[in-house]
C-alpha cells in the first residue's frame, strides 16, 4: 500500500466534502493505515453517526464498501462526483477502483452507467467507460 495514494485520496476527499460536512452537527475524517472514513452526526440529537464514505486502500486496488449521502446531500450528484474523484486518483496511481457490498439499487444504477460486473449483485469495477455524470443512463 502506497502512503502517497492514501495521502492524495485523503486530501481530495476532504477538500471535496468539507463544504457539505460543515452542515453536519459534528464530523470527522479518519485517515488510518489503509483506510479513510468520513463519519458524522447530521443533527445534535442524532443517536447514531452516519458513515458517509469508507475507502480501503490495498496494494493495487481501492475499495469503497460504504457510501451514503444523508438526505440533505442527495440528488446533487455528490456520491457520483466523489466516486469519480477517487477513480481519477486510482487511475493516476495505476490502481483499480471497486465498489463493494452494494445495495441492489445502487448496483443496478452503476451497472446501467457502464461499471463492470465483478460479482453479480455485489461488486462492480469503475472504469473510463463508467458514466458518472449527472444524467441518468438506462439500458
Select from 130, 134, 131 the least CA-distant residue to 117.
130
Digit-by-digit pLDDT tens for the chain (139 residues) are 457 999 999 999 999 999 999 999 999 999 998 999 999 999 999 899 999 999 999 989 999 998 999 999 999 999 999 999 999 999 999 999 999 999 999 999 999 999 999 999 999 999 999 999 876 544 4
| Residue 36 burial (10 A CB sphere; 0-12, 13-18, 19+) | buried
Q: What is the distance between the alpha carbons of residues 3 and 8, in angstroms, rounded to a whole number? A: 9
pTM score, whole prediction? 0.91
Select from 93, 100, 105 the least CA-distant residue to 116.
100
- Domains detected in the chain: 3-126 (3.40.630.30)
For residue 52, what are the CA distances in angstroms to 59, 64, 92, 119? 23, 11, 24, 23
Q: What is the distance between the alpha carbons of residues 16 and 20, in angstroms, rounded to a whole number? A: 8
Q: H/E element holding 99?
A: strand 96-99
Amino acid at each position: 500500500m502506497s502512503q502517497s495514494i492514501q495521502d492524495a485520496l485523503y486530501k481530495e476527499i476532504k477538500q471535496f466534502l468539507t463544504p457539505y460536512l460543515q452542515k453536519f452537527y459534528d464530523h470527522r475524517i479518519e485517515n488510518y493505515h489503509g483506510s479513510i472514513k468520513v463519519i458524522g452526526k447530521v443533527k445534535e440529537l442524532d443517536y447514531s453517526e452516519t458513515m458517509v464514505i469508507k475507502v480501503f486502500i490495498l496494494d493495487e486496488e481501492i475499495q469503497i464498501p460504504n457510501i451514503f449521502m444523508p438526505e440533505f446531500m442527495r440528488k446533487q450528484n455528490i456520491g457520483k462526483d466523489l466516486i469519480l474523484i477517487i477513480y481519477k486518483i486510482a487511475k493516476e496511481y495505476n490502481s483499480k477502483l471497486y465498489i463493494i457490498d452494494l445495495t441492489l439499487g445502487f448496483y443496478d444504477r452503476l451497472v446501467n452507467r457502464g461499471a463492470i460486473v465483478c460479482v453479480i449483485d455485489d461488486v462492480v469495477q469503475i472504469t473510463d467507460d463508467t458514466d458518472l455524470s449527472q444524467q441518468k443512463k438506462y439500458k
